[in-house]
Amino acid sequence: MRYAFYEVREMIIAESKPIKDILAMVEPYERILVVGCKGCVTVCSTGGEKEIGILSSALRLARQARGKPLEIKEATLERQCDTEYLEPMRVYADGYQAILSLACGAGIQFLAEKFRKHPVLPAVDTQFIGVAEEQGVWTERCQACGNCVLDRTGGICPVARCSKSLFNGPCGGSKSGKCEIDSQVDCGWQLIYDRLKELGQLEKLEVIMPVKDWSTSRDGGPRKRVREDLKI
Amino acid sequence: MEKFEPIVIAFCCHYCAYTAADLAGTMRLQYPFNVRIIRLPCTGKVDIRHLLEVFEKGADGAYVAGCLEGDCHFLTGNLRAKKRVALAKKILEDAGIGGERLEMYNMSAAMGPRFAEVAREMTERIRRLGPSPIKKNAKRIEHSAERKEEQTAEGRAQSA
């Protein structure tokens, strides 16, 4: 790899919504703010400066073609998940009727919390936490279960990579290293087995993993992390 | 009714289509005056934003003309342009402008007659399609362009 630095970039992956869906969302408005984010969605080419340029252009063209022009102000914030980057938008936000955000679901919600007077609309579908396997290809790696077991599974996550999130796999649906859900999808447990074999740590598979406590994951409700030493 | 004369923007690669246009001129070949050429160092430089912007600025059609496939001066620039044109066509279709108003062509620097032929072909296609739907509101476009300038001026004043 020539550009080893770019080889793996973990991030939140999102996908643009169809233009017709976005047009339907902005239909009642004449002046909107289109806000991108320079974080994850820029790296996965969904909601950065370039993508807001393309989307805004498409929206203006579509509305102009119907004789109902849409005025758009484009802005790309450093991040939409931090108050300090959202606040400067107050200077000009009042002149617009709605805010269309191209950030991940977290960014869109934070924006909606901070700008109470504006309807905040999503222009992307947030999909997963993943990596850029190659230019233009992203795949899932983590489901944020809140209790990492990668030390026991050769650095391959059974939660995210096994379709059933099994902890003592593989299941009977594993065939020639592929998963039964799709012949293109690797069997997560085959990957774990191969990797542990490479590392000479196959004995780790003999340890039966206990039933997972999912309370650290979504089953425990919305999660919160506090670091008292950082609070002001 | 007055005959509709479309504005067609041609994004031409310096190493092939632009030189072919030059050759067409040297050969005294006629091609429609409707075509306005923008020279690029390589069609790989063309961005979807540029392709959409020409329509926002009032063009009725546009095309990207790069080197023959496999002959790109920068190896794969024309293949990248091809993919971007395909996506931009889809966006134009979704926006109700019409994807057929945009096209990708390939030619070598020696193909002066082909350049003239493509210019005629594209102009005819756009003439058949009629004016871009956004032209009905041309006055408003001017207005929003002015606003944009005002905004940029404001931005400059703020950052100063």
| Token reading at A47 | 């909601």
Least confident of A69-73, A217-221, B57-61, B69-73: A217-221
Please give the pLDDT value at position A88: 94
Whether residue A7 has pLDDT greater than 50 = no
Residues A112 and A186 placed together within one structural domain of the fold: no
Please give the pLDDT value at position B10: 98
Residues A117 and A151 placed together within one structural domain of the fold: no
Does B140 map to a domain? Answer: no
Chain A residues in contact with B130 (beta carbon < 8 A): none
Positive or negative, the Cα torsion across A213, A218, A224, A225?
positive
Least confident of A42-56, A144-158, B125-139: B125-139
Among candidate residues A101, A128, A155, the one where a domain is terminated = A128
Q: Contact A68/A46 with Cβ under 8 angstroms?
A: no
Average pLDDT over residues A103-118: 96
Please give the pLDDT value at position B148: 56
Whether residue A9 has pLDDT greater than 80 = no
Does B156 map to a domain? Answer: no
B56 part of contact set with chain A, CB < 8 Å: yes
Q: Contact A65/B97 with Cβ under 8 angstroms?
A: yes
CA proximity to B10, closest of B143, B84, B115, B90: B115
Give percent of chain A above pLDDT 70. 96
* Best of A61, A63, A74, A89 to mutate (most B CBs within 10 Å, chain B): A61
CA distances from residue A90 to A81, A111, A120, B149 in whole angstroms, order as listed: 16, 11, 14, 21
Q: In which domain, by residue range, is B66 found?
A: 8-131
Which of A175-179, B132-136, B153-157 is predicted most confidently?
A175-179
Q: Looking at residue A106, which CATH number applies to its domain?
A: 3.40.50
Beta pairing class for A178-179 and B8-13? unpaired
Give percent of chain B above pLDDT 70. 83
User: How far is it, in rounded angstroms, from Cα A158 to Cα A192?
Assistant: 8
Chain B residues in contact with A95 (beta carbon < 8 A): none
At residue A158, φ and ψ (nearest 5 deg) are -70, -25
Residue B156's pLDDT band, with cuts at 50, 70 and 90, is: low
* Best of A54, A89, A96 to mutate (most B CBs within 10 Å, chain B): A54
Does B153 map to a domain? Answer: no
Residues A15 and A110 placed together within one structural domain of the fold: yes
Whether residue A138 has pLDDT greater than 90 = yes
Does A137 map to a domain? Answer: no
Please give the pLDDT value at position B135: 80
CB–CB of B95 and A62 under 8 A? yes
CB–CB of A64 and B137 under 8 A? yes
Q: Contact B25/B61 with Cβ under 8 angstroms?
A: no
Whether residue A165 has pLDDT greater than 80 = yes
Distance from CA of B61 to the nearest CA of A (A): 13
Whether residue A6 has pLDDT greater than 50 = no
Does B119 map to a domain? Answer: yes
Please give the pLDDT value at position A218: 87
**Residue in A50, A60, A61 closest to B49 by CB:** A50
Segment (H or E) for B36: strand B35-40
Q: In which domain, by residue range, is A163 found?
A: 143-218
Does A136 map to a domain? Answer: no
Whether residue B154 has pLDDT greater than 70 = no
Residue spans of beta strands (DSSP E) within chain A: 11-16, 31-37, 71-77, 98-101, 120-122, 124-134, 137-142, 178-179, 182-186
Whether residue B147 has pLDDT greater than 90 = no
Does A85 map to a domain? Answer: yes
Distance from CA of A16 to the nearest CA of B (A): 12
Does B157 map to a domain? Answer: no
ipTM of the complex, rounded to two decimals: 0.86
Whether residue B112 has pLDDT greater than 60 = yes
Count: domains in chain A? 2
More confident residue, A99 or A232: A99
Please give the pLDDT value at position B137: 57
Does A82 map to a domain? Answer: yes
Q: What is the mean pLDDT of chain B?
A: 89
CB–CB of A62 and B96 under 8 A? yes
B53 part of contact set with chain A, CB < 8 Å: yes
Among candidate residues A98, A128, A158, the one where a domain is terminated = A128
Nearest CA in chain A to B135: A65
Does A87 map to a domain? Answer: yes
Distance from CA of A137 to the nearest CA of B (A): 15
